[in-house]
Structure 1
């Protein structure tokens, strides 16, 4: 059962879980045997301006216009430079830290990647943080908003901010390679060790990848096209609790997705951008939250039902909280995940409070919004009927 005390969230002493909870990201380290190249649109990068006062850094950067190793570029350094190999390595590391240099590397194969799909505020962070502790899984340590939407064709601006919906029609020929590369650059294992920080000969050619971003509730056809072996874990949370949590998130203003949307009367839009959001200009917070809950779950269910049953697994948030070991065991069996002592240790205790939790968990917390939520429930009945048949 989920513990609500602050002390219980500190019961897990394992280094791996603490790293995951604190959202530590592995920073790429210089690999002397690897090839590096300047990033695309170099002059447009904000950090590029910082090099204007660092002439040596700027000159070294120019030597990487074509893929080169550290050893190769040293042959082209000005002879008058009295710079040691260590100092040059420090300059190159600085350029990597500024994200002006990137490593050229062979992409690993993402075999049976696992995508957690759910409505926002459904408990996906808790599920993600728990599954991320399996020994064979790699993650990016966080959600993939920038990784996906950093590809211009996949940003909602390319569709006039109609929604976060992506389908197989959005998988242009270059998208699978670019997206896999962007994920790979941020990959880390459960100990927060970066994939690219391993020596080249120790990098796994085949990996199991775990990802969760609530916007992916609207992207299942897209993800299945990019990753044909993809598996989906559908996390369902009953509407009263989920809608109340969405309302809390909107009121906190801690979850902005987009700002100054044309036609939207408020400064920011929170959580996933649903089809039909324009019709909510005069809606109350509970109506917006109910719309997001309904739309996310409806799209997930519609899209998953087009896939073979072996491609997806339904998880009830209530079961995750009440019997985490059984629930995680079922997911592990579905996704063929290897169990070890570390997972056993985690699941032998109360699950910790997820890092995105806004207030102390409580099964009756939603009742502070009870009157408002009960008013919108009748409009959810068609979907609830479908879901009850799946859950029962």
Structure 2
């Protein structure tokens, strides 16, 4: 198989840092009969790069061998499901947009951004509760055997925290510098730095690339039909009315306010969050 062609149509790739709404988006698009939905196939995107210290990948990492492997893996998934197109979301791809574009020049890439204060509240929940055991072992089984040595530390840490009930020190995409944060910073500071670093990396890459659709999760909750129709048109997704209608009927605007209410005092990390929020078009004192 060529590294620049596939037997399936243009893939739809949702990008966004952790707890930004990519799961919700993927679930909604999975309702479309033409789409095969891949849920966080991190093992495919990170193939041959599992041992790197962080999740940042650029176009230089997309060698012909890597491109061919990734495209073949997704092509097999689409064929297995008997679908026409791929829809996919992997949070760590927020640090890999140039890499993703190099692998799939024809892909329709959609970046979702969300208020960092909501992301922090949701991330803290995950760190306190731990990752679901079934997800831990699913990811372990998905990882090719040659890459297990690079993943054993992550797997052991996740299982240990789940069994002991200890909060996780770090969860989600790993931007450059994350290891130093874990050593020296308080949990709330780590979460703030993680969100700012990951979302700004994706946002700036998307702006530079110029062919990525960017939307705010809050807009999807407030104007679901209009926002989803814009996304479907960008993705050139035919017969999307069923997806749009379901989103319009089920989107919950209160999700924005609920998350913000859980974190009413973030002044100690305001200096980290506010510049990123402003760059994304949010205001510190705005009411969602």
Is there any run of 5+ residues in structure 2 with no aligned partner, and where? Answer: 137-150, 158-166, 283-288
TM-score if structure 2 supplies the norm length?
A: 0.77
- 2:277 matched to 1:375? no
Q: State whether structure 2 residue 249 is matched by structure 1 residue 349.
A: yes
Go from structure 1 to structure 2 and tell me whether the alpha carbon gap of 1:370 and 1:338 turns closer, same or farther (over 3 Å shift): same
Q: Is 1:333 aligned to residue 233 of structure 2?
A: yes
Change (3 A) 1:344 1:330: closer
| Counterpart residue number, 2:191 | 289
Q: 1:320 is paired with a residue of what secondary structure?
A: helix
Answer whether contact 1:121 1:245 (CA < 8 A) is retained.
Answer: yes
**Which residue number in structure 2 is paired with residue 56 of structure 1?**
none
Q: SS in structure 2 opposite 1:388? A: coil
The yes-or-no answer on 1:250 pairing with 2:99 is no
2:216 aligned with 1:323: no
1:183 to 59, 74, 83: 74
**Cα distance, 1:127–1:148 mapped onto 2, change above 3 Å:** same
Task: Tell me whether 1:154 sits opposite 2:49 in the alignment.
Answer: yes
Is this contact kept in 2: 1:119–1:292, CA < 8 A? no
Deviation at 1:332, TM superposition (A): 1.0
- Using structure 1 for the length normalisation, give the TM-score: 0.58
The question of 1:196 aligning with 2:80 is answered: yes
Structure number, greater radius of gyration: 1
Offset, 1:254? 1.2
Structure 1 residues 237 and 267, CA, compared in 2 at 3 Å: closer, same or farther?
A: closer
CA contact (8 A) 1:237 1:316 kept: yes
Partner in structure 2 of residue 220 of structure 1: 97
- Judging changes above 3 Å, is the alpha-carbon distance between structure 1 residues 329 and 267 closer, same or farther for their aligned structure 2 residues? closer
Structure 1 residues 343, 305: closer, same or farther in 2, change over 3 A? Answer: closer
- Give the counterpart of 2:87 among 196, 202, 210: 210
Distance 1:110 1:269, change over 3 A: farther
| Separation in 2, partners of 1:369, 1:197 | 41
Residue 367 of structure 1: how far off its partner (Å): 3.1
Rate the CA distance shift 1:329–1:289 in 2: closer, same or farther, 3 A: same
Task: Using the TM superposition, give the Cα deviation of residue 137 of structure 1 relative to its aligned residue in structure 2, in angstroms.
Answer: 2.5
Matched residue, 1:301:
203
Secondary structure of 2:110's aligned partner: strand
Aligned length: 250
TM-aligned CA distance change 1:260 to 1:279, over 3 Å: farther
CA shift for structure 1 position 347: 3.3
Unpaired stretches in structure 1, ≥5 consecutive residues: 1-106, 188-194, 199-203, 354-359
